[in-house]
A and B are shown apart, each in its own frame.
Chain A
Amino acid sequence: MSEKNLKYDLLIIGGGPGGYVAAIRASQLGLNVGLVEKENLGGVCLNWGCIPTKALLRSSEVKNLLDNSKSYGFSIPDYQVNFEDIIKRSRTVAKSLSSGVEHLMKKNKINVHKGLAKIIESSRDQKVVKVIDKEKNELKITSKFLIIATGATSKNLPFVSSDGKNILDYRTAMTPKELPKSLIIVGSGAIGSEFASFYNDLGCKVTIIEVQNKILPNEDHEISEFVLKSFKNRGVDIHINSELQSVNTKVSSVECEIKNGNKKLKLNADKLLLSVGIKPNVEDLGLEALNIEMEKGFIKTNELMKTSENGIYAIGDVTNGPWLAHKASHEGILCVDAIKGLKTHKIKKENIPGCTYSRPQIASIGLTEKKALELNHEIKVGRFPFIGNGKAIALGEPEGFIKTIFDKKTGEFLGAHLVGPEVTELIQGFAIAKKLETTEEDLMETIFPHPTLSEAMHESVLDAYDRVIHF
Chain B
Amino acid sequence: MSNEILMPALSPTMEEGTLAKWLISEGDTISSGDLIAEIETDKATMEVESIFDGTIGKLFFNEGSEGIKVNTPIGIILDPGEKYDEKVHGPNIKFGSNENNDKELIKQDDGDKPFDQVEKKEQVSEQRSNTSDSDSAVNSNEKNRIFVSPLAKRIAREKSIDLNLIKGSGPHGRIVKKDVENHNLNSLPKEFKNSISDVSNFELVKNSSMRQTIAKRLVESKTNAPHFYLSIDCNIDDLLSFRKKVNDEFPEEGKISVNDIIVKVAGLTLNKVPECNVSWTNESTKFFKSSDISVAVAIDGGLITPIVRNVEEKGIHKISSEIKELVEKAKNGTLSPNEYNGGTFSISNLGMYGIKNFTAIINPPQSAILAVGSGQKLPIVKDDKVVICNVMNLTLSCDHRAIDGAVGAKFLQVFKKIIENPMLMSL
Contact bitstring B117-145, A, C-beta under 8 A = 1, else 0: 00000010100110010000000000000
Inter-subunit contact B123/A465 (CB<8 Å) = yes
Inter-subunit contact B154/A439 (CB<8 Å) = yes
Question: CB of B150 within 8 A of chain A?
Answer: yes
Select the residue from A345, A411, A436, A437 with max chain B CB neighbours within 10 A: A437
Inter-subunit contact B125/A410 (CB<8 Å) = no
- How many Å lie between the Cα of A465 and that of B171 in the bound state? 30
| Residues on B with beta carbons closer than 8 Å to the beta carbon of A441 | 125, 128-129, 132, 150, 154
- How many Å lie between the Cα of A409 and that of B177 in the bound state? 14
Inter-subunit contact B158/A439 (CB<8 Å) = no
Contact bitstring B144-163, A, C-beta under 8 A = 1, else 0: 00000111101100100000
Select the residue from B150, B154, B155 with max chain A CB neighbours within 10 A: B150
Inter-subunit contact B132/A410 (CB<8 Å) = no
Question: CB of A438 within 8 A of chain B?
Answer: yes
Contact of A437 among B129, B149, B158 (CB under 8 A): B149
Beyond A437-B176, A437-B177, A465-B123, is A411–B151 a contact (Cβ under 8 Å)? Answer: yes
Beyond A437-B176, A441-B132, is A411–B125 a contact (Cβ under 8 Å)? Answer: yes
Question: CB of A445 within 8 A of chain B?
Answer: yes
Contact bitstring A432-449, B, C-beta under 8 A = 1, else 0: 000011111110110000
- How many Å lie between the Cα of A441 and that of B130 in the bound state? 11
- How many Å lie between the Cα of A438 and that of B150 in the bound state? 5
| Residues on A with beta carbons closer than 8 Å to the beta carbon of B149 | 436-438
- How many Å lie between the Cα of A465 and that of B128 in the bound state? 13
Inter-subunit contact A410/B129 (CB<8 Å) = no
| Residues on B with beta carbons closer than 8 Å to the beta carbon of A437 | 149-152, 176-177
Question: CB of A412 within 8 A of chain B?
Answer: yes
| Residues on B with beta carbons closer than 8 Å to the beta carbon of A438 | 149-151
Inter-subunit contact A412/B123 (CB<8 Å) = no
| Residues on A with beta carbons closer than 8 Å to the beta carbon of B125 | 411, 440-441, 444, 465
| Residues on B with beta carbons closer than 8 Å to the beta carbon of A445 | 129
Q: How many residues of A contact B (CB 8 A)?
A: 18
- How many Å lie between the Cα of A409 and that of B176 in the bound state? 17
- How many Å lie between the Cα of A410 and that of B158 in the bound state? 8
Distance from B182 Cβ to chain A, minimum over Cβ atoms (Å): 14
Beyond A441-B125, A441-B128, A444-B125, is A409–B158 a contact (Cβ under 8 Å)? Answer: yes
| Residues on A with beta carbons closer than 8 Å to the beta carbon of B170 | 345
Among residues of A, the one whose C-beta sits closest to the C-beta of B125 is A465
| Residues on A with beta carbons closer than 8 Å to the beta carbon of B158 | 409-410
- How many Å lie between the Cα of A465 and that of B158 in the bound state? 19
Contact of A439 among B123, B150, B171 (CB under 8 A): B150
Among residues of B, the one whose C-beta sits closest to the C-beta of A444 is B125
341-393 of chain B: CB within 8 A of chain A? none
Contact bitstring B272-311, A, C-beta under 8 A = 1, else 0: 0000000000000000000000000000000000000000
- How many Å lie between the Cα of A239 and that of B128 in the bound state? 48
Among residues of B, the one whose C-beta sits closest to the C-beta of A465 is B125
- How many Å lie between the Cα of A161 and that of B73 in the bound state? 87
Inter-subunit contact B151/A439 (CB<8 Å) = yes
Contact bitstring B87-126, A, C-beta under 8 A = 1, else 0: 0000000000000000000000000000000000001010
Distance from B159 Cβ to chain A, minimum over Cβ atoms (Å): 10
150-200 of chain B: CB within 8 A of chain A? 150-152, 154-155, 158, 170-171, 176-177
- How many Å lie between the Cα of A345 and that of B152 in the bound state? 17
49-75 of chain A: CB within 8 A of chain B? none
- How many Å lie between the Cα of A80 and that of B410 in the bound state? 108
Among residues of B, the one whose C-beta sits closest to the C-beta of A467 is B123
- How many Å lie between the Cα of A309 and that of B311 in the bound state? 77
| Residues on B with beta carbons closer than 8 Å to the beta carbon of A465 | 123, 125
258-293 of chain A: CB within 8 A of chain B? none
| Residues on A with beta carbons closer than 8 Å to the beta carbon of B123 | 465-467
- How many Å lie between the Cα of A85 and that of B395 in the bound state? 96
| Residues on A with beta carbons closer than 8 Å to the beta carbon of B171 | 345
- How many Å lie between the Cα of A376 and that of B225 in the bound state? 47
| Residues on A with beta carbons closer than 8 Å to the beta carbon of B150 | 436-439, 441-442
139-153 of chain A: CB within 8 A of chain B? none
Contact bitstring A449-471, B, C-beta under 8 A = 1, else 0: 00000000000000001110000
- How many Å lie between the Cα of A465 and that of B123 in the bound state? 9
Beyond A437-B176, A437-B177, is A412–B129 a contact (Cβ under 8 Å)? Answer: no
| Residues on B with beta carbons closer than 8 Å to the beta carbon of A411 | 125, 128, 151, 154
Distance from B72 Cβ to chain A, minimum over Cβ atoms (Å): 37
- How many Å lie between the Cα of A441 and that of B132 in the bound state? 10
- How many Å lie between the Cα of A115 and that of B210 in the bound state? 67
- How many Å lie between the Cα of A441 and that of B150 in the bound state? 9
- How many Å lie between the Cα of A441 and that of B157 in the bound state? 14
Select the residue from B123, B149, B151 with max chain A CB neighbours within 10 A: B151
Among residues of B, the one whose C-beta sits closest to the C-beta of A412 is B151
Distance from A333 Cβ to chain B, minimum over Cβ atoms (Å): 14
409-441 of chain A: CB within 8 A of chain B? 409-413, 436-441
- How many Å lie between the Cα of A442 and that of B171 in the bound state? 19
Contact of B155 among A410, A413, A444, A467 (CB under 8 A): A410
Beyond A439-B150, A444-B125, A465-B125, is A412–B132 a contact (Cβ under 8 Å)? Answer: no
- How many Å lie between the Cα of A412 and that of B155 in the bound state? 9
Among residues of A, the one whose C-beta sits closest to the C-beta of B149 is A437
- How many Å lie between the Cα of A277 and that of B128 in the bound state? 45
| Residues on B with beta carbons closer than 8 Å to the beta carbon of A345 | 170-171
Select the residue from A436, A445, A465 with max chain B CB neighbours within 10 A: A436
| Residues on A with beta carbons closer than 8 Å to the beta carbon of B154 | 410-412, 439, 441
Contact bitstring A390-415, B, C-beta under 8 A = 1, else 0: 00000000000000000001111100
- How many Å lie between the Cα of A444 and that of B176 in the bound state? 20
Among residues of A, the one whose C-beta sits closest to the C-beta of B171 is A345
Distance from B173 Cβ to chain A, minimum over Cβ atoms (Å): 11
| Residues on B with beta carbons closer than 8 Å to the beta carbon of A412 | 151, 154, 177
- How many Å lie between the Cα of A438 and that of B154 in the bound state? 10
Distance from A119 Cβ to chain B, minimum over Cβ atoms (Å): 34
Distance from B133 Cβ to chain A, minimum over Cβ atoms (Å): 11
- How many Å lie between the Cα of A64 and that of B154 in the bound state? 47
- How many Å lie between the Cα of A413 and that of B150 in the bound state? 11
Among residues of B, the one whose C-beta sits closest to the C-beta of A442 is B150
Select the residue from B128, B132, B155 with max chain A CB neighbours within 10 A: B155
Among residues of B, the one whose C-beta sits closest to the C-beta of A438 is B150
- How many Å lie between the Cα of A107 and that of B176 in the bound state? 37
| Residues on A with beta carbons closer than 8 Å to the beta carbon of B177 | 412, 437
| Residues on B with beta carbons closer than 8 Å to the beta carbon of A467 | 123
| Residues on B with beta carbons closer than 8 Å to the beta carbon of A444 | 125
Contact bitstring B315-344, A, C-beta under 8 A = 1, else 0: 000000000000000000000000000000
Among residues of B, the one whose C-beta sits closest to the C-beta of A411 is B154
Distance from A464 Cβ to chain B, minimum over Cβ atoms (Å): 10
Contact bitstring B73-84, A, C-beta under 8 A = 1, else 0: 000000000000
Distance from A40 Cβ to chain B, minimum over Cβ atoms (Å): 35
Among residues of B, the one whose C-beta sits closest to the C-beta of A443 is B150
Across the A-B interface, give the 8 residue pairs with the lowest CB-CB distance, nearest first: A437-B149, A437-B151, A439-B150, A442-B150, A438-B150, A412-B151, A439-B151, A410-B154
13 more A-B residue pairs beyond the given contacts A412-B154, A437-B149, with a C-beta to C-beta distance below 8 A: A409-B158, A411-B128, A437-B150, A438-B150, A440-B125, A441-B125, A441-B129, A441-B150, A445-B129, A465-B123, A465-B125, A466-B123, A467-B123
Residues of chain B touching chain A, judged by Cβ–Cβ distance below 8 Å, are 123, 125, 128-129, 132, 149-152, 154-155, 158, 170-171, 176-177
28 A-B residue pairs with Cβ-Cβ distance under 8 Å, sorted by A, are A345-B170, A409-B158, A410-B154, A410-B155, A410-B158, A411-B125, A411-B128, A411-B154, A412-B151, A412-B154, A436-B149, A436-B150, A437-B150, A437-B151, A437-B152, A437-B177, A438-B150, A439-B150, A439-B151, A439-B154, A440-B125, A441-B125, A441-B128, A441-B132, A465-B123, A465-B125, A466-B123, A467-B123
